[in-house]
Structure 1
Amino acid sequence: MQSPTIISLGGSIVVPDGIDIAFISAFRTLIQERMKLGESFIVIVGGGKVCRRYQASATELGVTDKDQLDWVGIFATRLNAELVRVAFGDIAHSELVLDPAVLSKVTAPLVIGAGWKPGHSTDFGAILMAESSGAKRIINLSNIDYVYDKDPRKFPDAKKIECATWKEFRDLLPEPSAWVPGLNAPFDPVAAKRGSELSLEIAIMNGNNLEHLKNYFEGKPFTGTVIR
């Protein structure tokens, strides 16, 4: 697989409340169109609300071990990812790829992955996949239009950021040491640290409107934030 595009697909896009069949179908169509142009992809699917609900339930049931809570979330990502994988049929690799070291043995032009092991978010998984595959860019599809300088849900004067350096972006995130399983942030700060070291390009956009992704692929103006 030569320099694929990595997509970190937020679980709350795939399963906002119920499973979003319309989104999965439209996403499949767009990726298939790009594959006909010779492009290859690694799609890492997150857990989203499903992950957080299961982790919250585990906590209510008395689970306090961080690794156990992380495993609960990891299996939520794998369930979401397996649904996406089977939706693509034979064009996707025949099983989920969780360990980046496996990529060297994969020949399919489309790989679907999910959570790998405790301590790694799916954002970090996307970074590891980029490092292993030689990918230069990661697209993060979430439920936000832009990265903002502060939480726009709490601060009406929050300013959108269309382009940022890695340093500027990392200054907006919690310290990597503050990362905990299930934390809701624009991008995992541990992943951001590694992405900065690798000089990757990250495009963050709202996956609910796939026109943004289509425009990005075509080099047209799009709604979202680019970090480089």
Structure 2
Amino acid sequence: MKPVGQGDECVDRCKPFALSVDRRVLALGGSLLSGNSMGFNEWIEGIARILETRSSQNHRTVVVVGGGDAARNGIDMLVGSTDSVEALDRVGISATRLNATIVRECLIAHGINVASGLPTSVSEAVGLIDSGVVVMGGTHPGHTTDCVAIKVAREMSASDCIIATNVSHVYSSDPNAHSDATPIESMSHNELRAIVGDPAAHKAGARSVVDPVGAMHAREACIELHILDGSDLEALESAMQGLKFRGTHVRNS
């Protein structure tokens, strides 16, 4: 690698080391839990198949679930009564845990070996990875679920962190507002942060392909990100297997 200061993203200590067991973290955006129940049931069955394959190969997986509409609706109800960021975050965290409980119970119903309980901290989640697929929501105010997923990935020495959202790629600009926006297949952490913006300006319940707080922590922890459309099960399965996938790879260099 080049010396620090010459455009590199990470120093040598951030290089991943060889692991006998494949470890990955999957962040499921809360938006993926919206929509009709039939579509959800088909989708969660596909997620279960992917996780069953990983479990049968003795791989370790942590699934972190976002709040989506449930979080935004709850925050909207509270925002007229308080301007406390922590209070708004607590409502959002409760929504993530509700969604995580839904995902967890669905996986159990599909026969997946799921770790007991719903972890409320990064250390608790990492401590459960040998007992089954770990499913969790948020942890505490100021930490988005993207951020939680990235912290878990760092602590469990995961290969990478997969961000499954409702768009297929990171785009050069907002495709809803700019007709010339183009999908990006590979980018650096700094390039991602330039697109998602300043973590200090991030608000509870805000929408972003990757939230700025999570992007900042991924850069600091040197965790590579695979960003994809979580409803595209083929892309998701490929990413979970470490294969080429349809989406954006956020690299360390």
Q: Same fold (TM over 0.5)?
A: yes
Report how far residue 207 of structure 1 moved. Answer: 0.8
TM-score (norm 2): 0.84
Q: Distance in 2 between matches of 1:81 and 1:104?
A: 16
SS at match of 2:227: strand
Q: Distance in 1 between matches of 2:242 and 2:65?
A: 24
The answer to whether the Cα contact below 8 Å between 2:44 and 2:107 also exists between their aligned partners in 1 is no
Superposed CA RMSD: 1.9
Question: CA 1:130/1:12 → structure 2, altered by over 3 Å: closer, same or farther?
Answer: same
SS at match of 2:131: coil
Unaligned runs of 5+ in 1: none
The answer for the alignment partner of 1:16 in structure 2 is: 35
Question: CA 1:217/1:124 → structure 2, altered by over 3 Å: closer, same or farther?
Answer: closer
Q: Distance in 2 between matches of 1:121 and 1:5?
A: 18
The answer for the alignment partner of 1:143 in structure 2 is: 166
Q: Runs (4+) of structure 1 moved beyond 4 Å?
A: none
Q: 106, 118, 121: which is aligned to 1:99?
A: 121
The answer to whether the Cα contact below 8 Å between 1:14 and 1:24 also exists between their aligned partners in 2 is no
Report how far residue 24 of structure 1 moved. Answer: 1.3
Report how far residue 94 of structure 1 moved. Answer: 1.0
Amino acid across the alignment from 2:32:
I
TM-score (norm 1): 0.92
Q: Distance in 2 between matches of 1:199 and 1:104?
A: 18
The answer for the alignment partner of 2:67 in structure 1 is: 47
Question: CA 1:178/1:115 → structure 2, altered by over 3 Å: closer, same or farther?
Answer: same
Q: Distance in 2 between matches of 1:111 and 1:220?
A: 22
The answer for the alignment partner of 2:6 in structure 1 is: none
Q: 64, 84, 87: which is aligned to 2:106?
A: 87
The structure that has the greater radius of gyration is: 2
Q: 16, 34, 41: which is aligned to 2:54?
A: 34
Amino acid across the alignment from 1:86:
E
Q: 183, 208, 231: which is aligned to 1:208?
A: 231
Matches within 5 A, 1:79-228: 79-89=98-108, 91-106=113-128, 107-228=130-251
Unaligned runs of 5+ in 2: 1-18
